[in-house]
Amino acid sequence: MVVDWQTLGEETAARVAPAWLKVDQLVLANTARVLAAFRECRVAEFHFHGSTGYGYGDEGRRTLEAVFARIFEAERALVHPSIVSGTHALAVALLGLLTPGDELLSPFGAPYDTMEGIIGEQGGPPGSLASLGVSYRQVDPRPDGNPDWPAIEGAVNARTSVVLLQRSGGYSDRPPLNLASLGELIGALRRHKSQLIFVVDNCYGEFVETAEPLVVGADLVAGSLIKNPGGGLAPTGGYVAGRADLVERVAARLTAPGLGGAVGPYPPGWRLHFQGLFQAPHAVGEALKGAVFAAGMAQSLGLVSRPVWDAPRTDIIQALDLGRPELVRAFCRGLQGASPVDAHVVPEPGSLAGYGGPVIMAAGTFVQGASLELTCDAPFRPPYTVYLQGGLSSAHVRLAVREALEAVCELI
């Protein structure tokens, strides 16, 4: 397929300009929210110092948690460098809240791939919810993408105690759950059974709308600091935020009962966590502009984009249906080749802990695996969809997406 890439790039930028303007408004609103939290919590230079040993009395960590709590409108937040990923944050949340005999309900399809190991099945893996006697029930969305209300109400029983809702669509073709839809699901289920605890997997969702899921009734949110709220600068970590009593239970699971969130040393210091959080609305805005541009350009080439470029968004993921394994490989190689780090590396599908089948990924990032930096992943299986996310600079996303799509168009 022969394409005039220069013209296509310019035309795409002109066409998506109205969507970029909306992103600018979002960034302004969220930056105001973050700035207000920093001021109210009186963030000061000495909060950037690290701590050693137990990490008792670490004012940096305590203040970072206070800032998170304000931004997320949470009673309490746990922000820890020893939470290594989003999966880990969700694992400690679920393992901290569910007790033997309880049932976990996922009312809107399968959760993210890496949750499979946490949920487990009869016989393993060791330490999974299943191995502790916690059962799991799932209701899939209807084919039209809406919740299957009768099935959801039928799935709630005396043992159902925690409901897991995932804001982003993950590696599936189900639509993401925006705040309005989350609120509707939570409200309806709570009317059905008032004691339910709602946990939202907030990965990739932070700062994509002007509020976070606790505002629409969630009890706890969890996510990764090498995604949106780290702003591309936090070197590691994860967070859990929400009702104070629930955060306390999760903290006890993360460290030890009785110690909870009182400990947690971080010798390098917290400057990058604070700076990253402050930059996060802007960085998420750059990623969103990149996603909008990628969708616009892909649509011009006749590819199916989910969401389409001008649709409202609640996460930063841009899915592009390529349909054939060699096109997925070409896209990932093109994107990797346009990365600032490891551009010479050639991605191959391979297995990765927590993911069922082979996956191919492009990630030329400064922080290992950080996916608020420009990355793409694709489960190497039909329908051969690539999931593109991140980009700390929308200019970089434009350049890299063009190269990735060029590699694809050489084959079609």
Ligand X SMILES: *Cc1c(COP(=O)(O)O)cnc(C)c1O
Within 8 A by CB and 6+ apart from 395, the residues are none
Q: What is the distance between the alpha carbons of residues 364 and 335, in angstroms, rounded to a whole number?
A: 9
Contact 343, 337 (CB under 8 A): yes
The nearer residue to ligand X, 224 or 314, going by C-beta atoms, is 224
Q: What is the DSSP letter of 124?
A: B
The nearer residue to ligand X, 43 or 220, going by C-beta atoms, is 220
Q: CB of residue 115 vs ligand X: minimum separation in angstroms? A: 7
Q: CB of residue 325 vs ligand X: minimum separation in angstroms? A: 23
Please tell me the count of residues contacting ligand X according to CB under 6 A. 12
State the residue number with the nearest CB to ligand X. 86
The nearer residue to ligand X, 171 or 266, going by C-beta atoms, is 171
Q: Which of 12, 85, 135, 385 binds ligand X (CB under 6 A)?
A: 85
Which residue, chain included where needed, has tokens 């249906």? Answer: 321
φ, ψ for residue 359 (rounded to 5)? -130, 150
Q: What is the distance between the alpha carbons of residues 337 and 343, in angstroms, rounded to a whole number?
A: 4
Q: Rule CB under 6 A: which of 95-124 touch ligand X?
A: 112, 114
Q: Does 206 bind ligand X (CB under 6 A)?
A: no
Q: Does 314 bind ligand X (CB under 6 A)?
A: no
End-to-end CA distance of the chain: 6
Q: Does 236 bind ligand X (CB under 6 A)?
A: no
Q: Which of 128, 135, 161, 166 binds ligand X (CB under 6 A)?
A: 166
The SS3 call for residue 160 is strand
Query: Which residues pair with residue 137 across a beta bridge?
Result: 105
Q: Does 68 bind ligand X (CB under 6 A)?
A: no
Q: Which of 170, 242, 290, 347 binds ligand X (CB under 6 A)?
A: 170
Q: Does 203 bind ligand X (CB under 6 A)?
A: yes
Q: CB of residue 305 vs ligand X: minimum separation in angstroms? A: 18
Candidates 196-204, 246-254, 297-305, 325-333: pick the segment binding ligand X (CB under 6 A).
196-204
Amino acid identity, residue 306? R
The nearer residue to ligand X, 114 or 279, going by C-beta atoms, is 114
Which has the closest alpha carbon to 286: 182, 375, 373? 373
From its phi and psi, is residue 407 left (phi > 0), alpha (psi between -120 and 50) or beta?
alpha
46, with CB counted inside 10 A (0-12, 13-18, 19+), is exposed
Q: Which of 48, 108, 204, 384 binds ligand X (CB under 6 A)?
A: 204
Q: CB of residue 114 vs ligand X: minimum separation in angstroms? A: 5
Interface positions with ligand X (CB under 6 A): 85-87, 112, 114, 166, 168, 170, 201, 203-204, 224
